[in-house]
Each structure stands twice: as structure tokens, then as C-alpha cells.
Structure 1
Amino acid sequence: MSSFARPSAVFAMDPVHLPLLFPAPLMARLRETVRIDPELVVQDFTGAASTLSDAEILITGWGCPHLGADTLAAMPRLRTVLHAAGSVRSLIGEPLWSRGVTVCTAVTGNAVPVAEYTLGMILLAGKDALARRDSFRRAHAYPVLADTAATGNLGRRIGIIGASRVGRHLLELLRSFDFEILLHDPYVDAAEAAGLGAELLPIEDLLRRSDIVSLHAPDIPETRHMLDRARLALVPDGAVVINTARGALIDHAALIDELVSGRLRAVLDVTDPEPLPADSPLYTLPNVFLTPHIAGSLGNELERLGRIVVDDLERITAGLAPAHELRHRDLAHVA
């Protein structure tokens, strides 16, 4: 393909991510497909009109500013946005959808490490490994056998809230284990849930029956504080709440009260707010395992996102439909 036939593309993201998203072999494939300057990475659309005026394709990532009406006016030729990250909610508004721009996202690639992280935490929580590590450090002694009667992963009831991309990948991973899988998702029926290896339940019933509850719903107005004080009270004593989705899905004041009482345990990779204030008890409570939003793609996992973008880019320039297009109508129930 000649350079004149290749469409023009521009990177728009925090440049620190670029080498990990597109290592040399991927960057070479990308540059064979589009005309793009790897040294030019837009972080601020203000005053970048001359840079963007010829762009037909925008390759975005974490750190890309919002694509508002003024920005779009500076990109009259823009026809495709390829997002080398997860959610596009904060990135794309109505003006872009109204223009009919094709939007693709690597969110399916980002779902993989989140599901893997969650699986690891489910297995560790079932063995009570997180708490026992600390007690072992203090006591330098093995647990008394009688104290381990409630420990183990055989037949553990796992409640999954949200058959999102992460939720579905996690459900697939969970098939290999002797778990009882429960699912709540208003967009899934019983037959589809059965096909995913789960029993579909109303959220209240799921919470009552689960030993471990894992959140994988999108952050939309309908899901804000979906685990409020009343619903958290339904979760059995000693159960574990895992959140790798968005902090706003849980009423943190109510959760902290449950954790301070010692009734529940939690694994939190996301919080509300992020980061937490320095005096938050979530940093120090012994029944909380807190990580700094690391479940999503990090380090060499970013290359998976870059592969998705390049694969879709090659499909688009060959006249084929992209494999990871996001439809405007889907935003009502996806991340």
C-alpha cells in the first residue's frame, strides 16, 4: 500500500503508555497501515488544530482529553476513534456519536487481567490466605486445625454481579473449579445464565446466598451504591466483597461500618474516591485487602490492548468491519 493510500492517524494519550501499548513490532504494523508520527502524541487538544486537521483516525488511550464539539470541529476528516484502553465514557460525548464516527475500544483486552486478578483473589479469599498471612507473621505458628473448618474452596458460593466483559471472562475461568456460581444481571435471562455456568438470581437473593460477592457492573446512574447499607446487611457473616469495577458501586460509609464491625471482609482494587483520603480506615483494617487500581492492564499487559487496536485498524483499512466496535446504544449498560 502506498503512503498516499494510507489514512492519516494521530496518537492522543499520555505518552508514557505508548511504548508499552505499541512495542516495536506492533508499531511497525501500525505504520504500515496508516500514516502516523510516533513522536507526536497529543495530550491537549487546545491549540492543536493544525496537528489534527488532516487526521482521519485518532488512536486514544489513558490521558486523552475529552472529545468535545470544539475538538471535533478541528478534525473535519475524523471517521474512526480506536481507544487503546477500557471505558470511553469520559472520553466521548454526544457530538462525536452524532457525527457517525466509528468507535472501537480495547476493553475486551483490558477485561482479561481484571478477571484474572479477581479469580486469584477469590481463590485466596476462600483459603483465608490474606488474613492468615498476617496472623502467621504475628504468631509464627500454624493455625489450629479446628479454626480452619470454614476454610476452603470446595463448593464455595460465588456471586457475580454483572455479566460484563470482565464478568463473562471470570465466569469462564470459574468453570474449572468446584464452585457454585450465582449471577445477577438485568440484561441476562435464565437460559443465558445457565449457558454461562451460573444460576440467575435477583440481587437480594444472590447476596443472601454468596460466600464471596464480586462486582462487575458498569458505573452508570442506575448502579450507583447498588450495594447500599440494606443490601450489604443481607450478605452472610464472614463473607467477602470484591470490587474491581468502580468504587461508586458500593456505599463506602456503609461498607466501612460493616468492616469495622468485623462482620464482612473486602478485597478492594477500586474505591470512592480514588485515591482514598489518608485517614481512611480502609488502609489499616485487618479484614481489608486494598490495592491501588492494579487489576486492569499494567506493564506488559498493555501490549494486548495495542494488538486489538492494530488488528481493528488493519480490518478497517482493508474495508472490513472492526471486531471491537462500540455502538452508541450499548453505552446504557456497558462500562
Structure 2
Amino acid sequence: MRSAQRPAVLLAMGPGIAERLFADRHRDRLTTLARSDPRLIAHDLAAPTPAVAAALAEADVLFTCWGATPLTPKVLERAPRLRAVVHAAGSVKHHITDACWERGIAVTSAAAANALPVAEYTLAAILLAGKYVLRSAQRYEELRAGYDWRRELDSAGNYRRTVGIVGASRIGRRVLELLRPFDLQVLLHDPYVTAADAAALGVVPTGLDELCGRSDIVTIHAPQLPATHHLLDARRLALLPDGATLINTARGSLIDEQALLAELVSGRLHAVLDVTDPEVPPADSPLYTLPNVLLTPHIAGSLGNELHRLTDRALDELERFAAGLPFADPVHPGTLNHSA
């Protein structure tokens, strides 16, 4: 990729996203890197306004984020100069189509940056689960009095507890890195990771059934694919030891939620769920009130000031493109079949 001048860049994302993504310093940097108007936001490339249509016809780069229009052949016909897509978020599956690869359009995403807060959330959940924080807080609220906590929490603690990681994705690998300072035994299940890869990661490669049977805490970081639908079904959930904690920050469909609900209602398992299936549980779902469940509204990924990390990473890639350099973190079409 060689560029004799600053590229023409068009921002393409859902309404309200750019305002959260860009601080003044980001707009200033974008103005330095690109020769186009950083204030123009394309919300619908399939039915563009005259101003967006004109910008799309001249665009060398689309700077995308959540809510971007799928880049169908019809949309790409309006963008004859387009050479790259810089995605300031994680997965590109919702808007990058086969037509992009057929055109030879280069694609990069900020998935590595978005993995960081998810891994941090997971680390916190693992350590709090090991200390029985949720259940002891519930008991404290229930009793509202002094109690022999040492006796009741005699099996708590994070010394040599076994943690099972399902999926050596970007997030899964970052979780592995964050867990290294702690006295934990870490198991990993990922069908694409060899024994040598696992050794390099410092973990024990384990079949999924065995991982479920041995882990005090299981955390899921696999992609949503047909092959991973209900990856943890009733049979595998039953393999988890009594009192185990299941953490899900990936996608709700990876767990058979009805089977999980049965385990949670019985009190046998605990869960930290940042995603569910459906994404917002019905108003009468027991997940909202079960004392052994910590339910959060899909907040593990980038939000608030963490969005600026995504913008910084995407602008770094745009700067490389403008300098005629390859992307530091390109998306390869061959990896999309087994990634998020």
C-alpha cells in the first residue's frame, strides 16, 4: 500500500458512535492524517445522502465502528477508490463481505485493544469468585450480624485453585497473561491450539469434558460459530464440580441457558454472566434475582473512556496506511471461520 498523499477517509458507523469514539485530540489527529472532512459521518452507505455519496466516491479508506453498513457489492460500486477499511472495534464480520476480499481491500480492526477490558473484567471475576465474594456478600446482607465467616468460607481462596479457559482467542490469551502472577492451575481447551502452543502459553491443554470436570472456575472465550452453539450443554454443565463458577463474557449462545438455569436455581453452580441468550433476559428471568448469579449488561468490552483506546489503535493503523506501510494487525479472511 503506497499513498502519494494523505488518504481520503470517510467515517462510517451507527448514529451517536463517533461522538463517543472521538475526543478533540482524535479529530485533530484525523485531520492531520486525512484530507477529508472528519465531521462527516456516514450512517447508511446503502442509501447515502448526496454529501455521503460524494465522499464515498472519493474515499480511499473507510473508518468504521459499530453499526457500519455491510459492504455489499452494490455499496462497493459507489466506492471505486476504496483500498482499506480501518475498524475501530472488534469483529468485522457484520460489515466486511466476500466482495471486500474479492476487491483486494485491506482490513484491520482494533480487536486486540477491545480484548483488554474484557480480559480485565474476567480476571476480576475469577479472583472474586475464588474468594466467594458474591455468596459471602449475600450472606452478610441476609444476616446483618457478626458470624463465623472463617468456618463458612473454609474452602474459599485462590491458592492453587483450578481455572479452565475455553478458547485461546485474543481475550483468552490476554486472560492467560493476566493470570500468570497468581498461584493458580490453569487449563486450556482450544481445538486449534497444539500441545507446543499450550506449552508456550504456560498452560495445560485439556479436552473440554476434562476441563469442566476439573475446574473450580470456567471462563468462556470462544467465538460464536455454528460449531460452538451450546458448547456447554446440560451434559457438560453437569460435569462441573459442586460450587463451581461459570464466567461468560463471550456470547450467550455458547451456553445452553435453560440447562444453566436449572443448575443455578438448584444452587449447585454459580455464574458471572455479562452476556445471555437472548442478550437481554426476559423481565421474569431468575437471572436477575438469583443470589448465586452476578449479571451485568454486556459491559466487559470497551465502554466509556476505554473507547478512546480503540480510536487510538485505529488511528495508528490509519497512520501506517498513510505512510504506505502494511497494517500492524491485519484481518485475514482465512481466520474468520474460527474467530469472533
| Bucket of the pairwise TM-score, normalised by the shorter protein | over 0.9
1-structure distance, mates of 2:124, 2:311: 25
Q: Which amino acid aligns with 1:25?
A: R
Contact residue 21 and residue 304 of structure 1 kept, 8 A? no
Q: Which amino acid aligns with 2:257?
A: H
Contact residue 213 and residue 242 of structure 1 kept, 8 A? yes
1-structure distance, mates of 2:279, 2:81: 37
- 2:316 aligned residue: 311
**Secondary structure in structure 1 of the residue aligned to 2:66:** coil
**Secondary structure in structure 2 of the residue aligned to 1:76:** coil
Q: Which amino acid aligns with 1:178?
A: D
Structure 1 window deviating more from structure 2 (188-197 vs 321-330): it is: 188-197
2-structure distance, mates of 1:276, 1:228: 18
- 1:94 aligned residue: 98
Call closer, same or farther: CA 1:102–1:143 in 2, change over 3 Å.
Answer: farther
For residues 182-197 of structure 1, what are the structure 2 equivalents within 5 Å?
A: 182-197=187-202
- 1:56 aligned residue: 60
Is 1:130 the equivalent of 2:125? no
Which runs of no fewer than 5 residues in structure 1 stay unpaired? none
**Secondary structure in structure 2 of the residue aligned to 1:312:** helix
Contact residue 80 and residue 101 of structure 1 kept, 8 A? yes
Aligned with 2:305 (options 300, 320, 327): 300
Q: Which amino acid aligns with 1:109?
A: A
- 2:179 aligned residue: 174
Is 1:162 the equivalent of 2:167? yes
Contact residue 5 and residue 322 of structure 2 kept, 8 A? no
Question: Structure 1 residue runs of 4+, over 3 Å off?
Answer: none
1-structure distance, mates of 2:193, 2:249: 21
Residue 79 of structure 1, CA deviation: 0.9
Structure 1 window deviating more from structure 2 (145-154 vs 35-44): it is: 35-44
- 1:21 aligned residue: 21
Contact residue 115 and residue 170 of structure 2 kept, 8 A? yes
For residues 244-255 of structure 1, what are the structure 2 equivalents within 5 Å?
A: 244-255=249-260
- 1:10 aligned residue: 10
Contact residue 59 and residue 79 of structure 2 kept, 8 A? yes
Which runs of no fewer than 5 residues in structure 2 stay unpaired? none
- 2:71 aligned residue: 67
- Normalised by the length of structure 1, the TM-score is 0.96
Contact residue 30 and residue 38 of structure 2 kept, 8 A? no
Call closer, same or farther: CA 1:61–1:234 in 2, change over 3 Å.
Answer: same
**What's the Cα RMSD here?**
1.5
Is 1:30 the equivalent of 2:36? no
Give aligned-pair identity as a percent.
53
- 2:267 aligned residue: 262
Residue 54 of structure 1, CA deviation: 1.1
1-structure distance, mates of 2:212, 2:23: 43
Contact residue 207 and residue 213 of structure 1 kept, 8 A? yes
2-structure distance, mates of 1:250, 1:94: 29
